[in-house]
Amino acid sequence: MKRLATCTILIWVALHASGTHAVKAGRVADGQAPPQRTQSPSSDGKLNVIAFGAHPDDCDQRAGGTAAKYAALGHRVRFVSVTNGDAGHQTEGGGALAARRRAEAREAGRRIGIEYVVLDNHDGELLPTLAVREQIIRQIRQWNADLVLAPRPNDYHPDHRYTGILVQDAAYMVVVPNVTPDTPALRKNPVFMYFEDGFQKPQPFAPDIAVSIDEVIEKKIDMLDAHVSQMYEWLPWVADTLESVPKDATARRRWLRETRAGQPTPAVRAVLAKWYGPEKGNAVRYAEAFEICEYGTRPDQAMIRKLFPFLPK
């Protein structure tokens, strides 16, 4: 499989490097990076951002604040849950739970002004198959994505791990016309980035970009609050804290804010200082951070500033 991928890349370079397409020769020549073209923005100047999570609420927790910032500026964001969440409850399950979670996801997206797509794969049974890889390739192509966000493939939950693998496997393949030919290939490989996580092996998350979400933290909590079956039922049941969930809607939303809005780690704090300057970076209370995946277009500083237009100039 590795030989085949290498071969495909070599053929792709041979076909395109001498022809009509603008391939960045320096980047192709640097060995390990996939071939890539100059990014061309959408005709209206708006970004197309797509994020993948295994379950309907995963993207919200890792990138809900950043998505709210994009939406506020008129950029297009789609969250995709790769499974339908039909196993994530202690007393409900199957089609009824999937329908409930689909409605919760739609409401979460509505609250911050983004699209939310839930793919119909069973929760707890996700595998990195060619069929699911094709679903992800289609999503990225249809969205004409500039930026793709996904989990790293190191995680306690197999659905999370395989979502990371599946999105990695879609990177680069999204530009190959003979792969998933029912959906036109992209003319550019998007930038791919990982969500933050706390896993240490085989290597810890290494943030490249950190976004202050202080001014949208309430929006993010609004989004999480829409996932009633998870935030107030399933996750507290798993953690054996169900008794501590307030019954009243206002009180439980406050409880959600207190229990879910975490503080930046030292590594994220250092990256905040890099992008915002030491003074502003140290003052940030809530942040979301991302690590560049090596398999997509590798952005330079100028491209990162285009992709994250809310970073200070």
Tell me how far apart the alpha carbons of residues 20 and 215 are, in angstroms, rounded to a whole number.
45
User: Which among 130, 151, 164, 168 is positioned nearest to 34, based on CA atoms?
Assistant: 168
Q: Which stretch binds Zn ion (CB under 5 A): 46-54, 70-78, 261-269, 303-311?
A: 46-54
| CB 157, min distance to Zn ion, A | 6
**Helix ranges restricted to H, the chain:** 2-16, 25-29, 58-72, 94-112, 130-142, 158-170, 217-225, 228, 235-238, 249-260, 266-276, 278-283, 301-307
Q: Which is nearer to Zn ion, 54 or 166 (CB)?
A: 54
Q: 211, 304 in Cβ contact below 8 A? A: no
Q: Is the peptide bond preceding residue 312 cis, with omega within 30 degrees of 0?
A: no
Tell me how far apart the alpha carbons of residues 175 and 183 are, in angstroms, rounded to a whole number.
11
Residue 55 in contact with Zn ion, rule: CB under 5 A: yes
List Cα–Cα distances, 99 to 105, 194, 298, in angstroms: 10, 28, 38
Q: Which is nearer to Zn ion, 36 or 163 (CB)?
A: 163
Give every CB contact of residue 7 below 8 A, 6+ residues apart in sequence.
none
| CB 151, min distance to Zn ion, A | 8
Q: Which is nearer to Zn ion, 62 or 75 (CB)?
A: 62
Q: How many CB atoms lie within 10 A of CB 6?
A: 10
Q: Which stretch binds Zn ion (CB under 5 A): 10-18, 58-66, 119-127, 287-295?
A: 58-66
Residue 288 in contact with Zn ion, rule: CB under 5 A: no
Residue 54 in contact with Zn ion, rule: CB under 5 A: yes
Q: What angle do CA 161, 165, 167 make, to 5 degrees?
A: 120
Residue 197 in contact with Zn ion, rule: CB under 5 A: no
Q: 39, 27 in Cβ contact below 8 A? A: no
| CB 98, min distance to Zn ion, A | 14
Q: Which stretch binds Zn ion (CB under 5 A): 48-56, 225-233, 248-256, 286-294?
A: 48-56
- Which residues, numbered 226-255, are part of the site for Zn ion (CB under 5 A)? none
List Cα–Cα distances, 83 to 57, 131, 142, in angstroms: 11, 13, 19
| CB 197, min distance to Zn ion, A | 11
Q: Which stretch binds Zn ion (CB under 5 A): 49-57, 208-216, 237-245, 266-274?
A: 49-57
| CB 54, min distance to Zn ion, A | 5
| CB 51, min distance to Zn ion, A | 13
Among 34, 58, 152, 196, which residue interacts with Zn ion (rule: CB under 5 A)? 58
Q: Which is nearer to Zn ion, 54 or 210 (CB)?
A: 54
Tell me how far apart the alpha carbons of residues 78 and 114 are, in angstroms, rounded to a whole number.
6
Q: Which is nearer to Zn ion, 66 or 230 (CB)?
A: 230
Q: Which is nearer to Zn ion, 172 or 195 (CB)?
A: 195
Residues of this chain that interact with Zn ion (CB under 5 A) are 54-55, 58
